[in-house]
Chain A
Amino acid sequence: MVKQLVLAALLVSGLFSQDAYERHCVECHNELPTSLQSMFKRYLLVYGGEKNVKAGLKHYLKYPLREISVMSDLFIDNYGIKKKTTLSDKQIDKALDIYWEKFKVIDKLK
């Protein structure tokens, strides 16, 4: 019994130790062949600045469409369009902030 309780506690604490990005994005994207960084670079190439990238991403998460996807046709043909997000705006914003900070180019070039 004690063993089960400890295991459950570890699972819950592990789950809550993850940030919004890891919780809501990484899990599903792990199953895809294209990394989140590659996708970030695609968004960066199309949308440019921080605000624009975040706005573009948010819109796509809320209203996913083949026409507005930055991914290649081959990728979409194989993996399809994602489902509409169930996250709140606040949760999306939080996840996107982390996503941006993780892969942004600013301050990384030497």
Chain B
Amino acid sequence: MLSDQRAMLTKYAYIQTKRLKVLHHFFDERTEYPRDPRFTSAIYDMENTKIFSLLEDENIRFHEEIYISHNHIHLVKTLDEFYLGTKYLIIEVKDDGIWRGEIWKNIIGYGLIFFLFFMIFGLYLAKLFLKPMRDSILLLDRFIKDTTHELNTPLSAILANIEMMDTDVMVEKNKTKLSRINIAAKTVSVLYKDLTYLTLDQEKKNHDEVIEIKELIYDRAEYFSSLAQSKHLECNLDLEESTITIDRRKFTRVIDNLISNAIKYNKRHGTVGIELKQGMLVIWDTGIGLNEENIPFMFDRYMRFNNAEGGFGVGLSIVKKIVDEYHISIEAESKEGEGTRMVLRW
């Protein structure tokens, strides 16, 4: 290193100063300038006039203590007593560059050691801090996985039996009750489908097909009609013919979740609108809307901004996952108290 070179050159300067002192004393009986095989040197007076020099590079930088030029390291030593009139003693040694290699070796070596140390330490800390969060997510995932298995049979039985019931012979009071059961069962069914998709179905292979979206929307709107009626919502459908190539199961999840959210988070006597054009689907509502700050987080899993309605907060994360998979863009516009507008483009 250069500090080692500096120490060595300072030692040489000290030796040479002693020799200059002797020469000064015996001048001019002796006029031979002291030489040393380990270094070359030069002496300059205070007016920077050369007194004697053996240097290879004579462009002296008098104001620098140590410098490298033309592959030589130079030390400029200022003398307190001007032996032979010398104010500046310059010591020059050849720069073999080994010290530079040593520096790089040390920088890379120690740098790597520190980097690895902090990396391992950082990973350990991150793991330590994230452990409670990871544990709770794993617990929730495991719980959902376990419970969904048990939900299917009773739910199918409820829905099938509601469909089979003869409502013509029913009194009005019972009809209302049955409708409520139907709505509740459908809500649970959507939730069940989301959870099954999340835990089991998403790993299944895609069966992409050309889907007539208009038909699918009519079908799903029909499915959710009882839910919408319970809130006295007005349905505003503006559907043009449009197709998309996608796995039907997945696209149904997208439509179901968007319609179900539009109904769930709507006000009573509000409106749910569905607009379909070629390459664009808009589902909007006149519901409670979202705070602008929350919009970027609305697609996060388990993220819920309203606890008044049931759910796990997985619906929109499923939607996002599916639309991303099929390179469909999704845009959310929402205003608190006015409603939300979800726009899909493909």
Could you list which residues of chain A lie within 8 angstroms of chain B, going by C-beta atoms? 37, 41, 44-53, 103-106, 108-110
Contact = CB atoms under 8 A, between A and B. Distances in A.
A37 B25 CA distance: 11
Given A45-B24, A50-B47, A109 B52 contact: yes
Contact of B46 (A49, A106, A109): A49
A104 B87 CA distance: 15
B49 interface: yes
Given A108-B31, A110-B33, A50 B82 contact: no
B45 A37 contact: no
A104 B27 CA distance: 10
Contacts of A110: 31-33
Interface residues of B, number: 20
Contacts of B83: 45
A106 B82 contact: no
Q: Chain B contact residues: over half helix, strand or loop, or mixed?
A: loop
B85 interface: yes
Contacts of A49: 45-47, 49, 85, 87
Given A49-B47, A49-B49, A44 B82 contact: yes
A46 B81 CA distance: 7
Interface in B61-97: 81-87
B28 interface: yes
Given A37-B28, A110-B31, A105 B85 contact: yes
Given A51-B47, A108-B28, A110-B33, 19 more contacts: A41-B24, A41-B27, A44-B24, A44-B85, A45-B81, A45-B82, A48-B45, A48-B82, A48-B85, A48-B86, A49-B45, A49-B46, A50-B47, A52-B46, A106-B45, A106-B52, A108-B27, A109-B31, A110-B31
